[in-house]
């Protein structure tokens, strides 16, 4: 497998490790959005949040919370953005599940812009389509 994150876990590519346990690994992003931008990944390869099994996802999100808290306290961050991208259209570049933790500070100039769309009147149909697949 030619996965850059798997290579990082195996020590083939160096990183600035923040956290490691038997199933989860966290390290500083090499292209950070802000000071302390950290990626939290599973050691087992899963492409994204849709493909990972529930037990491993639970372990992952608990470590995301733990690392996010440590980043906030350790860097005196005023807030955090925590997110994952799923599939190329949503911005996923490396197809190994990972959560970004981006510390936020007053005046840091970072903006996550979400364009609002109007789907008024379509809510019932949208809800039905989602619920049918739960």
The pLDDT of residue 11 is 96
- Residue 124 lies in domain: 4-131
The pLDDT of residue 117 is 86
The pLDDT of residue 94 is 97
- Look up the CATH number of the domain holding residue 17: 3.30.428.10
Annotated catalytic residue within 37, 96, 98, 100? 98
One pLDDT digit (tens) per residue for the chain, 134 residues: 699 999 999 999 999 999 999 999 999 999 999 999 999 999 999 999 999 999 999 999 999 999 999 999 999 999 999 999 999 999 999 999 999 999 999 999 998 888 888 888 999 999 999 999 99
The token pair at 71 is: 């980043």
What DSSP string describes 14-82?
Answer: ---EEEE-SSEEEEE-SS-SSTT-EEEEESS--SSTTTS-HHHHHHHHHHHHHHHHHHHHHTT-SEEEE
Q: How many domains does the chain have?
A: 1
Please name which of 43, 35, 46, 50 lies closest in space to residue 94, comparing C-alpha atoms: 46
Residue 98 annotated as catalytic? yes
The pLDDT of residue 40 is 98
pTM, entire model: 0.93
The pLDDT of residue 10 is 96
């Amino acid at each position: 497998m030619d996965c850059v994150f798997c290579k990082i876990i195996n020590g083939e590519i160096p990183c600035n490790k923040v956290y490691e346990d038997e199933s989860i690994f966290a390290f500083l992003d090499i292209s950070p959005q802000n000071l302390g931008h950290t990626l939290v990944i599973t050691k087992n390869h899963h492409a994204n949040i849709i493909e990972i099994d529930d037990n491993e996802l639970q372990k992952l999100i608990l470590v995301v919370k733990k690392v996010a808290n440590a980043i906030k306290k350790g860097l005196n961050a005023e807030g955090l953005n925590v997110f994952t991208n799923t599939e190329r259209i949503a911005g996923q570049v490396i197809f190994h599940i990972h959560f970004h933790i981006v510390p936020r500070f007053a005046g840091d100039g970072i903006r996550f812009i979400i364009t609002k769309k109007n789907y008024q009147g379509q809510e019932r149909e949208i809800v039905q389509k989602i619920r049918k697949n739960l």
